A and B are shown apart, each in its own frame.
Chain A
Amino acid sequence: MPNLEHPAYPAAALLHLESLVPCRESQVSMLLSIFGELPHVFVNCVEYFTSRLLLEEILIQLQSGSETEQASHVPCDTFNDFVRLFKQAVVSRELQDQTLYIVLDRAEQLREMEANILPAFLRLQELTDSNVTVILLSEIVWELFRPNVGCFDPLTLYFPDYSIGHLQKILSRNHPPEYTADFYAAYINILLGVFYMVCRDLKELRHLAALNFSKYCEPVVRGEANERDTRKLWKNIEPHLKKAMQTVYLREISSSQWERLQRDDGESGQLKGLSAHTHVELPYYSKFLLIAAYLASYNPVRTDKRFFLKHHGKIRKTNFMKKHEKTSNHLLGPKPFPLDRLLAILYSIVDNRVAPTANIFSQITSLVTLQLLSMVGQSDQLEGPRYKCTVSLDFIRAIARYEHGSTTVKTERMQTANEYRGRTYIVHAKTEYAELEGTHQDHRVQLLDLHRIPQESHVPESIVQMLLELRQAWVHNHFPGESIPVVSHPLGEKLFTDTQSKPPPTQLHSVSSSAVIAHEGEVISTRSSTASHEDVEDCGEISPQSPPG
């Protein structure tokens, strides 16, 4: 700035400095050093996040600038009071002839406060009729600040970002005294070579430089290389920096952990980042529940029959499906599914019989608490609870792989999950290959025929209430482009022979409350092979089945 040689600044203009990310903090400190001589107030808007806190802090700092000790707490609720008290404070500090500067850092938080704070600050000079300059520091453009009705536009000044040369110079400045400047400069060059493409933030780069320098000096310290052996030093440091990018840069581990790791040197098996902690040890059924939830979220409903049924037919593609084939479900995110579908898929992927006890349902709830599943909608919906799977494919793969290692029974179930041509295959040992395709259609809730009720009479009524066969309807293709999957459990006949005759009452409630819903306009008929099925004439008029016996 060319006017720095003039010490007196009787200006009362408003400046809005837009500083870019990499250079903000040094420019702020430069600003402060200029202001050190001048009467100023420096407030961070993140620290004082309500208008009241902000205004009171400004007044307190104003008061404390004077020589007398009183720093009495003055309550200041509205901007009106602030203007009045500000004028008093200026008079008491005898600053009427000088310019007072108020610097607000992280000014984008001002938008979150009351609506009159920002326009009022911009007009502070007019309101208080004194020489005051308000400087707002922010990273974002002015257009995002402007209130709808308009306000007194400030002058905007731009701080340019640092070029790579600047960064090198700044970073090389704080080299430790025991090494030469050239040595440190070479180290900075290597560091920038790895990290410059990803991040230009001066603070981050400084942090990384400080953390990794000891590792860089190790060969020199150990005597294996001298300071000019750039190739050896590079070979030593390069894998280390790559690891740093995956851990410390992402704040997966703290810097003290990183330093400890460097000292122990090579026990990288102990490295447990933050995201590793999400891989909790889940009980047996929970793992399968999670995998079933993932399949339910990312597969369209029409494909369920094909994947989980032994003898499935072909899925005919209609025009609707062809049009929307391009966007994969993996890009759009998980879709919600009802509880019944989850259980249906669960029964089909777990080999041995799953007793639908309260244990299973409580595991579902604990998965929701762990935020591996999330509940969609209110819990008192009549249609039953709907869930969404919120974990990624890598997590599922990790679980499935872990499954693979435990017992032989499990290895038959879930062998690999591969990505092949954008499709995910989960290989069943016993049944056929299941393909998962993704489309982004939103499917209606459908119910699946889990298994046929065996003729034994002591079968509990609860789970079997989800029996609904839509096979005829599917064959006649009444549904526009959607097929009704029917899943029959391979061991369906013998499923419940060993289970208790009386399931716990909680389970009854949760299942029987789920009404049976069908597509509008379709006629749904059930196969009346057992006593539990009922014929349904109209859609929506399906009542839970009466218990057998």
Chain B
Amino acid sequence: MEKWEYLYLGQVQRVFRERFCHPSTAAGKLFGLEQQYRHLLELLKRTTLHGESNSALIIGPRGSGKTTTNDKVALKEITRQLQLENVVGDKVFGSFAENLAFLLEALRRGDRSSSCPVLFVLDEFDLFVHHKNQTLLYNLFDISQSAQTPVTVIGLTCRQDVLELLEKRVKSRFSHRQIYLLNSFDFKQYIKIFKEQLSLPAEFPDESFAQKWNDNVQALSENKTVQDVLQNLFHYTKDLRSLHFLLMLAVSAVTGHHPLLTAADLQEASRHHRTDSRANIVHGLSVLEICLIIAMKHLNDVYDGEPFNFQMVYNEFQKFIQRKAHSMYNFEKPVVMKAFEHLLQLELVRPLERPCVRTQREFLLVQLLLDSTQIMDALQVYPNCPTDVKQWAASSLSWL
């Protein structure tokens, strides 16, 4: 392939990296959200232009992360962001009560015509409702309802029942405006989104390469296997972040020798996206640990999922060793205990209660976090598994 095309690979990667990994720069790409967007914009406009105070709640299944631990921290942040007078440089002075009083005073002194409207955006709104007395929320909503500085309070949350968590006095001051952001597109639109996300933008420096790339993308979107892959992902989750991850994995396969995406790349990416992480871990266990897992599987079958302890697992293992095993050496109990503790460390086996001094380690009740199908599948791909172990896994009664 041509050298100049190779040079542009870096550019291609940069474009996609920014698109998939910097969600903030993908502004304006709100699919199907135009109506909500307009609604929100209207609300904000009203605050800024007319001095109206409003409050609204945006609910949508977004993953979220920014949390503040209590009202004090939130208040400090508010004062800092508003650049109030008790902020010197970056530090906020004063205790919580003083800060709150100061803030409320500052907001109260304004009125509709003369002061600048303030927009409060509260991310992870449902965490604010767990604060003590919901003081911050109460005060903010209170201000928004009285004839003071125009403020708009926008809360973002992913819980649909967040209104029930609000106290009565807070709920009454809230305007009950809720904007729902739901991914309400269907599969055809999903494919269109896929195409759009994968196409190079018009500003790309090399036009012919961009044209070639975009044509390839068009062909891919009509390919049956690619559509199957997308259908699988669509059935699992509609949100765009998974789509971005899939596309990122696929685009990572693009190299100098392999400049255009193929359907096989997407399939490989999909396979990687859907690997069972626990099966990966089981793949790396030693044979003794696999035997312990099989013993636990049999205990689960016999006792219908009741918790068991190490002594029972060891008993099962001994039964296997004494009657059936030719390839397994009869290890001593401390060695088997060490293997068991390794499984505990990998959290494939979880104790029901914290281990304490009173109970001996062998009698601590645990539960297995793998189910039978996972175990059998993992055994199929386990390298060099001894045959009698495999047969034992298939049926514990085969020696009877």
Interface string of B264-289 (1 = CB under 8 A from A): 00000000000101101101111110
User: Contacts A161-B283, A197-B288, A331-B312 known; A151 to B383 CB distance under 8 Å?
Assistant: no
Q: Which residue of B lies closest to A126 (CB)?
A: B24
Given A139-B345, A332-B363, A126-B23 contact (CB < 8 Å): yes
Partner of A140, one of B23, B331, B347: B347
Among listed B30-38, B199-207, B245-253, interface-contacting one:
B245-253
Q: Which of B47-55, B66-74, B96-104, B222-230 contacts A (4 or more CB under 8 A)?
A: B66-74
Give 17 A-B pairs besides A149-B158, A155-B248 with Cβ atoms closer than 8 angstroms: A1-B252, A21-B342, A22-B284, A80-B76, A116-B68, A120-B67, A140-B347, A150-B63, A158-B275, A197-B329, A198-B335, A199-B286, A200-B284, A245-B332, A246-B334, A331-B311, A331-B312
Which chain B residues border A120 with CB–CB below 8 Å?
Answer: 65-67
CB of B253 within 8 A of CB of A153, answer: no
A11 close to B17 (CB less than 8 A): yes
- Whether A119 lies near B64 (C-beta < 8 A) is yes
Q: Per-position contact with B for A230-250: 1 when CB-CB < 8 Å, else 0?
A: 000000000000000110011
Find out whether the CB atom of A153 lies under 8 angstroms from the CB atom of B90. Answer: no
Q: How far is the CA of A12 from the CA of B19 in the complex (A)?
A: 11
* Contact of B360 with A by CB under 8 A: yes
Residues of A within 8 A of B (CB): 1-3, 6, 8, 10-13, 18, 20-23, 78-80, 84, 108, 114-116, 119-120, 122-123, 125-127, 129, 139-144, 149-153, 155-156, 158, 160-164, 196-200, 245-246, 249-250, 252, 275, 330-334, 371, 374, 376, 388, 390, 392
Q: Is B76 a contact partner of A2 (Cβ separation < 8 A)?
A: no
CB pair A333–B363 under 8 Å, yes or no, is: yes
Contact between chains at B281 and A196 (CB < 8 Å):
no
Q: B346 and A140: CB pair below 8 A?
A: yes
Q: Is B395 an interface residue (CB 8 A)?
A: no
Q: Are A142 and B280 in contact (CB under 8 A)?
A: no
Cβ distance B2 to chain A, nearest Cβ, rounded Å: 18
Q: Is B86 part of the contact surface with A, judged by Cβ < 8 Å?
A: no
Whole-angstrom distance between the Cβ of A244 and the nearest chain B Cβ: 11
- Which residue of chain B has the shortest Cβ distance to A273 in the bound complex? B334
Q: Are A153 and B63 in contact (CB under 8 A)?
A: yes
21 A-B pairs with C-beta separation under 8 A: A79-B69, A80-B76, A80-B77, A116-B67, A116-B69, A120-B65, A120-B67, A139-B281, A149-B158, A150-B158, A156-B277, A158-B277, A162-B284, A197-B329, A198-B288, A245-B332, A275-B334, A330-B311, A331-B312, A333-B360, A390-B358
* Contact indicator B13/A119 (Cβ below 8 Å): no
Query: In the complex, what residue of chain A is closest to B257 when comparing beta carbons?
Result: A2
Q: Which of B333-348 contact A (CB under 8 A)?
A: 334-335, 338-339, 342, 345-347
Residues of A within 8 A of B255 (CB): 2-3
B328: interface (CB < 8 Å): yes
Number of A-B contacts (CB under 8 A): 168
What separation, in Å, do the CA atoms of A155 and B18 have in the docked complex? 16
Contact B287 A151 (CB under 8 A): no
**Residues A119 and B286 in contact, CB atoms below 8 Å apart:** no
B283 → chain A closest CB, angstroms? 6
Q: Which of B142-185 contact A (CB under 8 A)?
A: 158-159
In the bound complex, residues from chain B placing their C-beta under 8 Å from that of A197 are 286-288, 328-329
* Contact yes or no, A250 B67, CB < 8 A: no
CB distance from B257 to the nearest CB of A (A): 10
B280 contacts A20, C-beta separation under 8 Å = yes
- Chain A CB within 8 A of B322 CB: no
A108 and B347 CA atoms in complex are apart in Å by 10
Whether B359 and A333, one on each chain, are in contact in the complex, defined by CB atoms closer than 8 angstroms, is: yes
B106 at the interface (CB under 8 A from A): no
Rounded to whole Å, the gap between the CB of A199 and the closest CB of chain B is 6
* Nearest CB in chain B: distance from A166 CB, A: 11
B309 in the interface (beta carbon within 8 A): yes
Q: Is the CB of A20 within 8 A of B288?
A: no
The smallest C-beta distance from B316 to any residue of chain A, in angstroms, reads 10
Closest A residue to B291 using CB positions: A197
List B contacts of A6 (CB < 8 A).
10, 13
Contact check, A374 vs B358: say whether CB atoms are below 8 A apart. yes
Closest 10 pairs (CB-CB, A-B): A161-B284, A123-B65, A333-B363, A119-B65, A116-B67, A20-B284, A141-B277, A13-B21, A152-B63, A140-B347
